[in-house]
Amino acid sequence: MQEWFSSAQELAILYGIRILAAIVVLIVGRWVAQGIRRLVERLMERGRLDTTIVKFTGNLTYIALLAFTILAALNQLGIQTTSFIAVLGAAGLAIGLALQGSLSNFAAGFLMILFRPFRVGDYIEAAGTAGTVEEIQIFTTTLCTPDHKLVIVPNAKLTADNIVNWSAKGTRRVDMVFGIGYGDDIDRAREVITSIINADPRVLKNPAPLIAVYQLGQSSVDFVARPWVKSGDYWDFWFETTEKVKKAFDAAGISIPFPQQDVHLYQHRD
Protein backbone atom coordinates (compact mmCIF):
# COMPACT_ATOMS: atom_id res chain seq x y z
CA MET A 1 0.00 0.00 0.00
CA GLN A 2 2.81 2.32 0.92
CA GLU A 3 4.59 1.54 -2.35
CA TRP A 4 1.40 2.23 -4.36
CA PHE A 5 0.91 5.54 -2.56
CA SER A 6 4.51 6.53 -3.23
CA SER A 7 4.18 5.63 -6.91
CA ALA A 8 0.95 7.58 -7.24
CA GLN A 9 2.56 10.56 -5.54
CA GLU A 10 5.53 10.45 -7.90
CA LEU A 11 3.23 10.22 -10.93
CA ALA A 12 1.11 13.11 -9.64
CA ILE A 13 4.21 15.25 -9.16
CA LEU A 14 5.60 14.28 -12.56
CA TYR A 15 2.41 14.90 -14.54
CA GLY A 16 1.53 17.90 -12.40
CA ILE A 17 4.80 19.53 -13.42
CA ARG A 18 4.16 18.64 -17.06
CA ILE A 19 0.64 20.03 -16.94
CA LEU A 20 1.90 23.20 -15.27
CA ALA A 21 4.66 23.52 -17.87
CA ALA A 22 2.10 23.07 -20.68
CA ILE A 23 -0.11 25.79 -19.20
CA VAL A 24 2.88 28.12 -18.90
CA VAL A 25 3.84 27.41 -22.51
CA LEU A 26 0.29 28.20 -23.67
CA ILE A 27 0.11 31.46 -21.73
CA VAL A 28 3.59 32.65 -22.66
CA GLY A 29 3.22 31.45 -26.25
CA ARG A 30 -0.06 33.30 -26.69
CA TRP A 31 1.48 36.45 -25.23
CA VAL A 32 4.50 36.15 -27.52
CA ALA A 33 2.26 35.52 -30.55
CA GLN A 34 0.30 38.69 -29.82
CA GLY A 35 3.54 40.64 -29.40
CA ILE A 36 4.98 39.35 -32.67
CA ARG A 37 1.72 40.15 -34.47
CA ARG A 38 1.86 43.74 -33.19
CA LEU A 39 5.55 43.96 -34.16
CA VAL A 40 4.86 42.68 -37.69
CA GLU A 41 1.98 45.11 -38.13
CA ARG A 42 4.09 48.00 -36.84
CA LEU A 43 6.98 47.22 -39.17
CA MET A 44 4.64 46.91 -42.15
CA GLU A 45 2.95 50.20 -41.25
CA ARG A 46 6.35 51.89 -41.14
CA GLY A 47 6.93 50.52 -44.63
CA ARG A 48 3.73 52.35 -45.64
CA LEU A 49 2.06 49.17 -46.82
CA ASP A 50 -1.67 49.06 -47.38
CA THR A 51 -3.75 48.61 -44.21
CA THR A 52 -5.50 45.64 -45.79
CA ILE A 53 -2.25 43.72 -46.18
CA VAL A 54 -1.08 44.73 -42.70
CA LYS A 55 -4.18 43.38 -40.94
CA PHE A 56 -4.35 40.20 -42.99
CA THR A 57 -0.65 39.37 -42.47
CA GLY A 58 -0.94 40.13 -38.74
CA ASN A 59 -3.87 37.75 -38.30
CA LEU A 60 -2.18 35.02 -40.32
CA THR A 61 1.04 35.36 -38.29
CA TYR A 62 -0.86 35.15 -35.02
CA ILE A 63 -2.73 31.97 -36.02
CA ALA A 64 0.47 30.26 -37.23
CA LEU A 65 2.32 31.08 -33.98
CA LEU A 66 -0.66 29.97 -31.90
CA ALA A 67 -0.69 26.60 -33.68
CA PHE A 68 3.04 26.20 -32.98
CA THR A 69 2.40 27.07 -29.31
CA ILE A 70 -0.28 24.38 -29.00
CA LEU A 71 2.11 21.78 -30.44
CA ALA A 72 4.80 22.86 -27.98
CA ALA A 73 2.35 22.54 -25.08
CA LEU A 74 1.38 19.04 -26.20
CA ASN A 75 5.07 18.14 -26.33
CA GLN A 76 5.39 19.22 -22.68
CA LEU A 77 2.65 16.74 -21.80
CA GLY A 78 4.69 13.95 -23.34
CA ILE A 79 2.51 13.55 -26.42
CA GLN A 80 4.50 12.62 -29.50
CA THR A 81 3.83 15.55 -31.79
CA THR A 82 5.10 13.73 -34.89
CA SER A 83 2.40 11.10 -34.68
CA PHE A 84 -0.02 13.74 -33.51
CA ILE A 85 0.70 15.81 -36.62
CA ALA A 86 0.08 12.76 -38.79
CA VAL A 87 -3.23 12.18 -37.06
CA LEU A 88 -4.06 15.85 -37.46
CA GLY A 89 -3.23 15.62 -41.16
CA ALA A 90 -5.67 12.78 -41.66
CA ALA A 91 -8.29 14.49 -39.55
CA GLY A 92 -7.60 17.75 -41.35
CA LEU A 93 -8.48 16.17 -44.66
CA ALA A 94 -11.83 15.02 -43.33
CA ILE A 95 -12.45 18.34 -41.63
CA GLY A 96 -11.42 20.18 -44.80
CA LEU A 97 -14.04 18.30 -46.81
CA ALA A 98 -16.64 19.17 -44.18
CA LEU A 99 -15.55 22.80 -44.03
CA GLN A 100 -15.34 23.57 -47.72
CA GLY A 101 -17.17 26.84 -47.13
CA SER A 102 -14.56 28.03 -44.63
CA LEU A 103 -11.72 27.00 -46.93
CA SER A 104 -13.32 28.84 -49.83
CA ASN A 105 -13.63 31.91 -47.60
CA PHE A 106 -9.91 31.63 -46.76
CA ALA A 107 -8.99 31.26 -50.44
CA ALA A 108 -11.22 34.21 -51.34
CA GLY A 109 -9.60 36.34 -48.65
CA PHE A 110 -6.15 35.45 -50.00
CA LEU A 111 -7.23 36.37 -53.54
CA MET A 112 -8.65 39.71 -52.36
CA ILE A 113 -5.35 40.52 -50.67
CA LEU A 114 -3.45 39.48 -53.80
CA PHE A 115 -5.54 41.32 -56.42
CA ARG A 116 -6.93 44.04 -54.10
CA PRO A 117 -10.30 44.89 -55.68
CA PHE A 118 -10.83 47.17 -52.67
CA ARG A 119 -8.96 48.39 -49.62
CA VAL A 120 -9.75 49.32 -46.05
CA GLY A 121 -11.62 52.63 -46.11
CA ASP A 122 -13.22 52.09 -49.53
CA TYR A 123 -17.00 52.29 -49.91
CA ILE A 124 -18.14 49.20 -51.80
CA GLU A 125 -21.36 47.52 -52.87
CA ALA A 126 -21.28 43.71 -52.99
CA ALA A 127 -23.03 40.55 -51.75
CA GLY A 128 -26.34 42.38 -51.40
CA THR A 129 -25.02 45.06 -49.04
CA ALA A 130 -23.00 48.28 -49.14
CA GLY A 131 -20.69 50.01 -46.69
CA THR A 132 -17.19 51.18 -45.86
CA VAL A 133 -14.59 48.43 -45.54
CA GLU A 134 -13.27 48.35 -41.97
CA GLU A 135 -11.24 45.14 -41.94
CA ILE A 136 -10.44 42.20 -44.21
CA GLN A 137 -9.92 39.11 -42.08
CA ILE A 138 -8.96 35.58 -43.02
CA PHE A 139 -12.52 34.33 -43.46
CA THR A 140 -14.71 37.43 -43.42
CA THR A 141 -14.76 41.11 -44.35
CA THR A 142 -16.28 43.71 -42.04
CA LEU A 143 -18.32 46.57 -43.52
CA CYS A 144 -19.81 49.60 -41.79
CA THR A 145 -23.02 50.86 -43.40
CA PRO A 146 -23.86 54.59 -43.63
CA ASP A 147 -26.29 54.17 -40.69
CA HIS A 148 -23.47 52.56 -38.64
CA LYS A 149 -24.55 48.95 -38.82
CA LEU A 150 -21.72 46.43 -38.72
CA VAL A 151 -22.05 43.84 -41.52
CA ILE A 152 -19.78 40.77 -41.53
CA VAL A 153 -19.67 39.23 -45.01
CA PRO A 154 -18.01 35.87 -45.84
CA ASN A 155 -15.15 36.44 -48.27
CA ALA A 156 -16.44 33.83 -50.71
CA LYS A 157 -19.68 35.76 -51.16
CA LEU A 158 -17.75 38.91 -52.04
CA THR A 159 -15.65 37.26 -54.73
CA ALA A 160 -18.59 35.26 -56.13
CA ASP A 161 -20.54 38.39 -57.10
CA ASN A 162 -19.94 41.75 -58.73
CA ILE A 163 -18.05 44.26 -56.59
CA VAL A 164 -18.79 47.95 -57.07
CA ASN A 165 -16.02 50.07 -55.59
CA TRP A 166 -17.24 53.66 -55.32
CA SER A 167 -13.94 54.91 -53.87
CA ALA A 168 -11.45 53.37 -56.29
CA LYS A 169 -11.26 56.34 -58.68
CA GLY A 170 -11.50 59.07 -56.06
CA THR A 171 -14.24 60.93 -57.96
CA ARG A 172 -17.92 60.28 -58.65
CA ARG A 173 -20.44 61.64 -61.12
CA VAL A 174 -23.61 62.99 -59.56
CA ASP A 175 -26.64 62.20 -61.74
CA MET A 176 -29.47 64.62 -60.90
CA VAL A 177 -32.78 65.18 -62.68
CA PHE A 178 -34.85 68.37 -62.32
CA GLY A 179 -38.30 68.74 -63.89
CA ILE A 180 -39.96 72.01 -64.95
CA GLY A 181 -43.40 72.75 -66.39
CA TYR A 182 -44.05 72.79 -70.11
CA GLY A 183 -45.01 76.45 -69.87
CA ASP A 184 -41.74 77.49 -68.17
CA ASP A 185 -38.71 79.03 -69.87
CA ILE A 186 -36.18 76.28 -70.68
CA ASP A 187 -33.25 78.69 -71.11
CA ARG A 188 -33.96 80.36 -67.79
CA ALA A 189 -34.13 77.01 -66.02
CA ARG A 190 -30.81 75.98 -67.56
CA GLU A 191 -29.21 79.24 -66.37
CA VAL A 192 -30.43 78.66 -62.81
CA ILE A 193 -29.08 75.09 -62.63
CA THR A 194 -25.79 76.06 -64.30
CA SER A 195 -25.15 78.99 -61.95
CA ILE A 196 -25.76 76.85 -58.85
CA ILE A 197 -23.45 74.04 -60.00
CA ASN A 198 -20.66 76.30 -61.27
CA ALA A 199 -20.68 78.32 -58.04
CA ASP A 200 -20.07 75.22 -55.89
CA PRO A 201 -16.32 74.79 -55.17
CA ARG A 202 -16.74 71.02 -54.78
CA VAL A 203 -17.58 70.62 -58.49
CA LEU A 204 -14.55 69.55 -60.54
CA LYS A 205 -13.64 71.51 -63.63
CA ASN A 206 -12.45 68.41 -65.46
CA PRO A 207 -14.54 66.57 -66.52
CA ALA A 208 -16.83 69.52 -67.10
CA PRO A 209 -20.39 69.22 -65.77
CA LEU A 210 -23.14 68.35 -68.23
CA ILE A 211 -26.48 70.19 -68.06
CA ALA A 212 -29.01 69.41 -70.79
CA VAL A 213 -32.64 68.60 -71.51
CA TYR A 214 -33.02 64.92 -70.70
CA GLN A 215 -36.51 64.03 -71.84
CA LEU A 216 -40.02 65.33 -72.39
CA GLY A 217 -41.98 63.57 -69.68
CA GLN A 218 -45.70 63.11 -69.24
CA SER A 219 -46.05 66.22 -67.11
CA SER A 220 -42.63 67.89 -67.12
CA VAL A 221 -39.58 68.83 -69.14
CA ASP A 222 -36.72 67.03 -67.40
CA PHE A 223 -33.21 68.47 -67.14
CA VAL A 224 -30.24 66.23 -66.34
CA ALA A 225 -27.26 67.63 -64.40
CA ARG A 226 -24.10 65.53 -64.23
CA PRO A 227 -21.31 67.27 -62.32
CA TRP A 228 -18.22 65.45 -60.98
CA VAL A 229 -17.15 65.70 -57.34
CA LYS A 230 -14.76 63.90 -55.01
CA SER A 231 -16.14 60.67 -53.60
CA GLY A 232 -16.30 62.04 -50.07
CA ASP A 233 -18.40 65.06 -51.19
CA TYR A 234 -21.03 63.04 -53.04
CA TRP A 235 -23.94 62.97 -50.58
CA ASP A 236 -23.38 66.44 -49.10
CA PHE A 237 -23.35 67.90 -52.59
CA TRP A 238 -26.47 65.95 -53.58
CA PHE A 239 -28.58 67.10 -50.64
CA GLU A 240 -27.44 70.73 -50.67
CA THR A 241 -27.78 71.15 -54.44
CA THR A 242 -31.29 69.69 -54.47
CA GLU A 243 -32.38 72.26 -51.88
CA LYS A 244 -30.65 75.13 -53.68
CA VAL A 245 -32.30 74.31 -57.02
CA LYS A 246 -35.75 74.15 -55.43
CA LYS A 247 -35.31 77.55 -53.77
CA ALA A 248 -33.85 79.09 -56.95
CA PHE A 249 -36.75 77.76 -59.06
CA ASP A 250 -39.23 79.25 -56.61
CA ALA A 251 -37.46 82.63 -56.73
CA ALA A 252 -37.38 82.58 -60.54
CA GLY A 253 -41.03 81.59 -60.84
CA ILE A 254 -40.21 78.23 -62.38
CA SER A 255 -42.67 75.50 -61.46
CA ILE A 256 -41.82 71.94 -60.53
CA PRO A 257 -44.72 69.75 -61.71
CA PHE A 258 -46.03 66.88 -59.65
CA PRO A 259 -48.36 64.07 -60.72
CA GLN A 260 -52.03 65.05 -60.69
CA GLN A 261 -55.27 63.26 -61.48
CA ASP A 262 -58.58 64.70 -62.55
CA VAL A 263 -61.50 62.78 -61.10
CA HIS A 264 -64.84 63.12 -62.88
CA LEU A 265 -67.99 62.16 -61.01
CA TYR A 266 -71.10 61.18 -62.93
CA GLN A 267 -74.46 61.03 -61.22
CA HIS A 268 -76.61 58.19 -62.40
CA ARG A 269 -80.29 58.84 -62.39
CA ASP A 270 -82.88 56.12 -62.53
Each residue's pLDDT expressed in tens, for the chain with a length of 270 residues: 555 555 555 655 656 677 777 788 788 888 888 888 888 888 777 766 667 677 777 777 888 788 888 777 777 766 665 655 665 665 555 555 445 566 788 788 878 877 889 988 899 999 889 999 998 887 889 999 989 999 999 998 988 889 999 998 889 999 999 999 999 999 999 999 999 999 999 999 999 999 999 999 888 999 999 999 998 899 999 999 999 999 999 999 999 887 766 676 777 665
Same domain, 86 and 27: yes
Considering only CA atoms, give the Rg of the chain. 32
Please indicate, yes or no, if residue 269 is contained in any of the structural domains. no
Same domain, 134 and 158: yes
Range of the domain at 56: 2-98
Please indicate, yes or no, if residue 48 is contained in any of the structural domains. yes
Same domain, 8 and 87: yes
Please indicate, yes or no, if residue 105 is contained in any of the structural domains. no
Same domain, 70 and 142: no
Same domain, 154 and 180: no
Distance CA(106)–CA(111), nearest Å, equals: 9
Boundary-marking domain end, from 47, 68, 98? 98
Please indicate, yes or no, if residue 104 is contained in any of the structural domains. no
Same domain, 74 and 146: no
The residues facing 129 across adjacent strands are 126
| Half-sphere exposure for 63 (CA within 13 Å, toward CB) | 10
Whether the ω angle into residue 207 lies within 30 degrees of 0, i.e. cis, is yes
Q: How many domains, the chain?
A: 3
